[in-house]
Structure 1
Amino acid sequence: MAKPKVLVTRRWPAAVEAQLSEAFDAVLNTGDKPLTEDELRAAMTSYDAVLPTVTDKISAKAFDIPKPQARILANYGVGYSHIDMHGAAGHGMTVTNTPDVLSECTADIAMTLLLMVARRAGEGERELRAGEWTGWRPTHLVGTKVSGKTLGIVGFGRIGQEMARRAHHGFGMKIVVQNRSRVSPDVLARYNATQVDSLEELMPQCDFVSLHCPGGPANRHLINTRMLNLMKPDAFLINSARGEVIDELALSRALWFETIGGAALDVFDGEPRINPDLMDCDNLVMLPHLGSATREAREAMGFRVLDNLTDFFAGREPRDRVM
C-alpha cells in the first residue's frame, strides 16, 4: 500500500523530519519560505495531509476547491486561528494541534518578557551595545520590583497556569485570573488565585497583565484603548499569545504617552511585519515569536504531529483533534 503523501510547510527539527519521511511520503519545504495562499490552495489538491504552522494563513480561499485530496490538517502548534475552520469543516477535514508539549517553554518566555520590561533589560542592553554606558549610578535605569506584585492572567489554560506557577511560586505574586469559563476551585487553589468575571474587573487591579488567550476573530483587539485606559499608569502588558489580540496602534499610543508603564511582546499582528509605530517605543520589549523555541519543545511538537497523523491514517481517532 502506498504511503500517504504529506506536505511539511516549513523546516522542522531534523529528527522529526527523518521519522516523518520514514512513515509517510513526506515532501519537505527545503527552502523554508512561507507558502503563498495559492500554493496552500494547490497543496489541498495534491497531498493527503498538509502540516501547517502559524505562518500558513489558510483562509477561506484556500478551501475554495471542488474536491480536495487533503483529509487532515495536522497543525504544528497549539493555536490554529490561522486556519479557516469553516472552510475545513465544509470539506469534512480533520484538524489537529499540539497541546501540552510547549506550555512550559512558552510560559518561560512570558516570564522572561515580564522580567525584561520590569527591569528595563532591553534598554540596558541597547545602551551597552551602543557604547553609551557611563557607569553605575543610583538613578540609572531604575525599574520595577516584580516579587509580591499582582499579576493578571487573561486565559487560564495550560500556558496560563504554567505562567501562574512561575509567578506565584517563584516570585510570590498574587494571581488574578480572567477566563471565558469557570476555573475549578482546585486549580485556582494551586496558585492561590482569584478569578474575576471580566477584563474590566481585572485590568485596574493588576501591576502586570499577561495574555494567554486564543487568537482569532472573537479576540481580535481584545486589548484596545478602553482596556489600556483601565490599567494602572505604571502597569505592564505582556503578550505571548497571538498578535491580533492587541490593537497595536492603541498600544503604541499608550506607550508613547506613558499611560501605562510598558509592554513586552513575543507576537505581532501581521508578523513578521512589525507595526512601525511600535519600533521607537523605549518602554517596549520585543522578541521574534520565540515562545516554543527550544529544541525540546519543537521536537516534541513535531512528534505530536506524527502521532496524530499515524492515528488518523490507521483509522484511529487522533488524540489532539480540534475538529
Structure 2
Amino acid sequence: MSKTVLVLVETVDDYLPLLERAGYRLIRAPSPQMRADAIARHGDEIDAVLTRGPLGLSAAEIATLTKLRIICVIGAGYEQVDLVAAAARGIIVTNGAGANAGPVADHAMALLLALLRDIPRADASTRRGEWNRVISPSVSGKRLGIIGLGAVGQAIARRASQGFDMNVSYHSRTPRAEVPYTWYDSPLHLADAVDILVVATPGGNGTRHLVDAAVLEALGAEGYLVNIARASVVDTDALVGALRGGVIAGAALDVFDDEPAVPDALKAQGNTVLTPHVAGQSPEAARDTVALVLRNLQAFFAGEPVLTPVRA
C-alpha cells in the first residue's frame, strides 16, 4: 500500500518525481491556504510530511494529522517543527543535514568575497560608465571565525583554509577534536579574535541572538559579518546600529527575520550585500536533498533506522 506525503516545500519540485517513482502519493501544498486546505481535507490520510525549517509543522497540525508517522525536513534547520508534539506521538523527525552543505558553503564564500572586495557597487558603477577603482581589503590570509561547525561550517572552513589560506577558528557548544581549527568558548571571544565572522549554526531558541551588540562590538570596525544560517541568530536591530555607526565594516546576509520582507534599514546601507535566501538552492542540492528524503522514508517504512534523525 502506497504512503501519502504532504509536501509543504516549494523549492524542490523538479525532483519530487523521485518520490513518486518510488510509489509515494504526493499532496503538494506550498502556500499557506493550500496547506490549511490539505490538512483539513486529508488529515486522516497523510503518513509523512516534507517541510523545511522556517515552514515547520505546528503542534495543532500534528494533532490533526492522525496517521502521521514521520516528518522530513529539507535542510539542516528544523526550528519551526514542534519536536515536543512530535515526540509525544512517537513521530520520527529527520533533517537534511549535509545534503546542501556544498552550495551553502559556496554561497558563503561568494558573499564574503563580494562584501570585502565591494563587487556589487563596483559592478553597478562600471555599468553607469564610471571608473571608480576603489581599494578593497584582501581576503586571503584573513582570520575567519565560524559559529557552528556542522556540515556547512566544515565545508566553509575547508574552502577558507585550503583555498584562501585563512586562519580558521570556530565556536560550538563543545570543541571537536577531529578538526584542525581553534575552538572558542563563546561567540564573543570568537568575534574578538577574527576579521570575518560567519554564522552557520541552526536557528531556534537555543541560538537566538547569539550575535548581539556585544559580539558586533568585539568584531570591530574592520570586521565583517556573513550570515547564511538563520536570521534569528543575529540581532537585526543591533546589526543595523552597528552598520550605521561604523561598529563593524559590513555585513552580507542571505537570511532575514520576516522573509521575503527585507528591512529598508539594511537595504539603505552601502556596506551590505543581500541575497534572497538562495544559499542552499542549486539543482544539485535539490536533487541530493530529495534523494536523502527518499532514503529516510524508505528506511523508516521498512522498519530500519533513519539516516538523519532529529532528537527532541
Q: TM-score, normalised by structure 1?
A: 0.89
Amino acid at match of 2:291: F
Spell out the pairing of 1:32-181 with structure 2 (5 A cutoff): 32-34=30-32, 38-39=36-37, 42=40, 44-65=43-64, 68-129=66-127, 131=128, 133-136=129-132, 140-181=133-174
Q: Which moved more, 1:15-24 or 1:215-224?
A: 15-24
Corresponding residue of 1:290: 278
Could you tell me how far apart the structure 2 residues matched to 1:64 and 1:270 are? 26
Corresponding residue of 1:264: 252
Amino acid at match of 1:187: V
Cα deviation for residue 69 of structure 1 reads 1.6
Q: Is 2:199–2:226's contact at 8 Å kept on the other side of the alignment?
A: yes
Corresponding residue of 2:236: 248
Corresponding residue of 2:25: 26
Cα deviation for residue 150 of structure 1 reads 0.5
Q: Is 1:10–1:28's contact at 8 Å kept on the other side of the alignment?
A: no
Q: Deviations over 1:191-225 (max 9, x none)?
A: xx211212221111211001111110111111111
Matched, 1:183 2:176: yes
Q: Deviations over 1:118-175 (max 9, x none)?
A: 011122233345x2x4225xxx332211111111111111111111111111111111
Q: Which moved more, 1:255-264 or 1:78-87?
A: 78-87
Unaligned stretches of 5+ residues in structure 2: none
Q: Is 1:113–1:264's contact at 8 Å kept on the other side of the alignment?
A: yes
Amino acid at match of 2:113: L
Could you tell me how far apart the structure 2 residues matched to 1:176 and 1:39 are? 47
Cα deviation for residue 98 of structure 1 reads 1.5
Corresponding residue of 1:206: 194
Compute the RMSD of aligned alpha carbons. 2.1
Could you tell me how far apart the structure 1 residues matched to 2:263 and 2:101 are? 27
Cα deviation for residue 253 of structure 1 reads 1.1
Q: Is 2:52–2:77's contact at 8 Å kept on the other side of the alignment?
A: no
Corresponding residue of 1:306: 294
Q: Deviations over 1:89-127 (max 9, x none)?
A: 122111011122211111111111111100111222333
Q: Which moved more, 1:18-27 or 1:146-155?
A: 18-27
Cα deviation for residue 44 of structure 1 reads 4.9
Matched, 1:236 2:235: no
Corresponding residue of 1:17: 16
Q: Is 1:199–1:227's contact at 8 Å kept on the other side of the alignment?
A: yes
Going from structure 1 to structure 2, the CA distance change for 1:281 and 1:63 (only over 3 Å counts) comes to same
Matched, 1:316 2:301: no
Q: Is 1:70–1:93's contact at 8 Å kept on the other side of the alignment?
A: yes
Q: Is 1:41–1:61's contact at 8 Å kept on the other side of the alignment?
A: no
Q: Which moved more, 1:91-100 or 1:8-17?
A: 8-17
Cα deviation for residue 10 of structure 1 reads 2.9
Amino acid at match of 2:237: L
Q: Which moved more, 1:298-307 or 1:52-61?
A: 52-61
Corresponding residue of 1:5: 4
Q: Is 2:94–2:308's contact at 8 Å kept on the other side of the alignment?
A: yes
Q: Is 1:35–1:56's contact at 8 Å kept on the other side of the alignment?
A: no
Q: Percent identity, aligned pairs only?
A: 33
Cα deviation for residue 236 of structure 1 reads 0.1
Q: Helix, strand or coil for the counterpart of 2:290?
A: helix
